[in-house]
Amino acid sequence: MRSVARSGYAALGLAAGMIAGAAIAQAQSADELIASYRVLNSACRGGSGDDPRTQKACAERDRIVAGLQQAGYCYGRRGQVGAQMSWHRCGADSLR
């Protein structure tokens, strides 16, 4: 678990360096944003709540979520359970 956390934090540094504020949806492709989201989400959910790196991962993840939503992407569709959900172009059955 520790090696996963360390690699997550290393990737966090890389992902955070690629994020450019409110314009992240335009600065990166959707695939890059989704890959960054996955790394940051793992660091956020797997880190200690009082660790500043965890808090940074959560904040950066939330910025990516906002960028994806602005770009017309949604996470999950109606009727799906959490394990089935993924990022996709929003459609009529998408959760918003």
Answer whether residue 58 shows pLDDT above 90: yes
In a domain, 95, yes or no: no
Question: What's the pLDDT at 49?
Answer: 82
Reported pTM: 0.69
Question: What's the pLDDT at 28?
Answer: 74
Higher pLDDT, 51 or 2: 51
Answer whether residue 8 shows pLDDT above 80: no
Q: What's the rounded mean pLDDT across residues 38-51?
A: 91
Report strand pairing: 73-75 vs 87-89.
antiparallel
Question: What's the pLDDT at 12?
Answer: 54
Terminal CA-to-CA distance of the chain, rounded, Å? 32
Question: What's the pLDDT at 9?
Answer: 54
Query: For residues 94 and 90, what is the distance between their CA atoms, to the nearest angstrom?
Result: 6
In a domain, 70, yes or no: yes
In a domain, 94, yes or no: no
- Range ranked top by mean pLDDT from 11-25, 44-58, 75-89: 75-89
In a domain, 96, yes or no: no
Please tell me the total count of domains within the chain.
1
In a domain, 64, yes or no: yes
In a domain, 79, yes or no: yes
Domain residue limits at 45:
2-89
In a domain, 59, yes or no: yes
